[in-house]
């Protein structure tokens, strides 16, 4: 087994002399650290994700550098975040950020230094991954060290989906083991063990996310409104829903009656907003499908209209939704808005109707849409497993 030996000369003074005498240090000229390095097995199989893990001071960063140079990203503080991805076309840049779980449009338009720790970390990940050339190994040091542990898990799941979808290679150094079932690495390496460990069985597993959904007050929208991609407005007649993960609010949904003279007992999804730290793992789509199924189980028809291309793709490829209308005549939409006295943004939209199977919905689950809750803690929770 190869060893990496790190030596440093000691500049002696009264402080080092005190240490030498107090702790009986024999070598007064230099310090020496040996780190076992044994990555040979990585060349014997195909892989996408590797993790070097261990406590502080175990040599993770030194080992990471065996795969290449660590890159430091300097974002232009004058530009919007998305403008820093200028080697890509705008549509490609939005797709990259969304795939890493940073799909909040308002976040794209803010400078990097104004983002939260979790948003900054995802932005740096997206930049390094997007910049990597074919066959280049992306290197990430101190992975998830500066973010909340729940955020670290959701980030890891979004990251591994992107890496595998585009067949890239990435090696991450981390002192946290709780991300493994979310990151699903092909191999891990511990300096203490000194060997590569393959994880084919881990790749076949999926983490479990237990969500709790409640009816909530209109004021709960204040937590989420700044993250909606179109507007912070919300009708006060909307029925509001909050989704919690480990008692943290992470997703907001609002439902309104469908304004139509031809359809009775029809409703539409007015808002679906997932907080940026929990984007990229499918929570928004999952909760929207569940709420839609509750209405359909109750004999209602349920619709959703969106101008978000990511939601178009998801629902067009889902057997639970059917497309029922496409509004792409922007001039017609503009004229209709002006006629109705509306000043809304003019954009292409697609409408869908929920047609998924609702036989799995239990009758008692319908209480969630009938109960007039004052706050999300005031009613019994509906617990769901996302995976």
Domain residue ranges in the chain = 38-203, 210-385
**Helix, strand, coil proportions of the chain in percent (round to 5)?**
35, 25, 40
Task: Tell me which fold the domain 210-385 belongs to.
Answer: Aminopeptidase (3.40.630)
pLDDT by residue (tens digit) across 279-313?
Answer: 878 888 899 999 999 999 999 999 998 877 667 77
d(CA 132, CA 17): 48
The predicted model scores a pTM of: 0.76
Average pLDDT over residues 341-368: 76
Residue 322, classified by CB atoms within 10 Å of its CB into exposed (0-12), middle (13-18) or buried (19+), is middle
The pLDDT of residue 156 is above 60: yes
The pLDDT of residue 90 is above 70: yes
Residue 19, classed as helix, strand or coil, is: helix
Q: Which CATH number fits domain 38-203: 3.40.50.880, 3.40.718.10, 1.10.287.3510, 3.40.50.300?
A: 3.40.50.300
Residue pair 172/103 in contact by the 8 Å Cβ criterion: no
Q: Where are the alpha helices (DSSP H) in the chain?
A: 14-23, 60-64, 90-99, 105-108, 117-131, 149-165, 180-183, 200-203, 283-297, 309-316, 330-339, 367-370
Chain-centre distance for alpha carbon 304:
23
Which DSSP symbol is given to 29? S
pLDDT by residue (tens digit) across 239-294?
Answer: 999 999 888 899 999 999 987 667 888 999 999 999 888 887 888 889 999 999 99
The pLDDT of residue 330 is above 90: no
d(CA 196, CA 38): 7
Looking only at the bridges linking them, the beta strands covering 30-37 and 239-245 are unpaired
pLDDT by residue (tens digit) across 116-146?
Answer: 888 898 899 999 999 988 789 999 999 988 8
d(CA 271, CA 253): 5
């Amino acid at each position: 087994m190869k060893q990496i030996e790190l030596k440093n000369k000691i500049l002696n003074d009264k402080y080092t002399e005190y240490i030498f005498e107090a702790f009986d240090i024999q070598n007064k000229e230099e310090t020496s650290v040996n780190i076992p390095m044994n990555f040979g097995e990585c060349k014997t199989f195909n892989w996408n994700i590797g993790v070097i893990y261990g406590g502080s001071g175990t040599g993770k960063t030194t080992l990471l550098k065996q795969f290449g140079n660590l890159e430091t990203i300097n974002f232009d503080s004058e530009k919007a975040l998305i403008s820093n991805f200028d080697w890509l076309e705008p549509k490609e840049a939005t797709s990259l950020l969304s795939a890493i779980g940073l799909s909040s449009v308002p976040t794209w338009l803010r400078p990097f230094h104004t983002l939260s720790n979790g948003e900054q970390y995802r932005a740096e990940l997206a930049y390094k991954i997007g910049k990597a050339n074919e066959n280049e190994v992306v290197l990430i040091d101190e992975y998830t060290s500066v973010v909340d542990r729940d955020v670290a898990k959701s980030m890891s799941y979004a990251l591994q989906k992107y890496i595998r979808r585009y067949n890239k290679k990435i090696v991450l150094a981390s002192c946290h083991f709780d991300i493994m079932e979310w990151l699903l690495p092909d191999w891990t390496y511990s300096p203490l063990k000194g060997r590569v460990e393959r994880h084919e069985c881990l790749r076949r597993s999926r983490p479990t996310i237990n969500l709790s959904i409640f009816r909530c007050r209109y004021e709960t929208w204040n937590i989420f409104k700044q993250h909606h991609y179109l507007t912070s407005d919300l009708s006060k007649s909307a029925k509001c829903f909050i989704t919690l993960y480990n008692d943290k609010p992470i997703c907001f949904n609002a439902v309104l009656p469908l304004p139509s003279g031809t359809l009775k007992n029809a409703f539409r999804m007015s808002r679906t907003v997932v907080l940026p730290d929990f984007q990229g793992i499918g929570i928004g789509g999952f909760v929207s499908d569940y709420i839609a199924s509750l209405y359909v189980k109750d004999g209602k028809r349920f619709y959703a209209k969106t101008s978000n291309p990511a939601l178009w793709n998801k629902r067009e490829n889902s057997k639970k939704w059917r497309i029922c209308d496409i509004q792409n005549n922007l001039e017609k939409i503009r004229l209709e808005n002006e006629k109705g006295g509306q000043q809304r943004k003019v954009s292409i939209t697609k409408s869908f109707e929920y047609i998924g199977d609702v036989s799995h919905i239990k009758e008692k689950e319908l209480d969630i849409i009938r109960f007039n809750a004052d706050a999300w803690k005031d009613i019994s929770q509906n617990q769901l497993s996302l995976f």
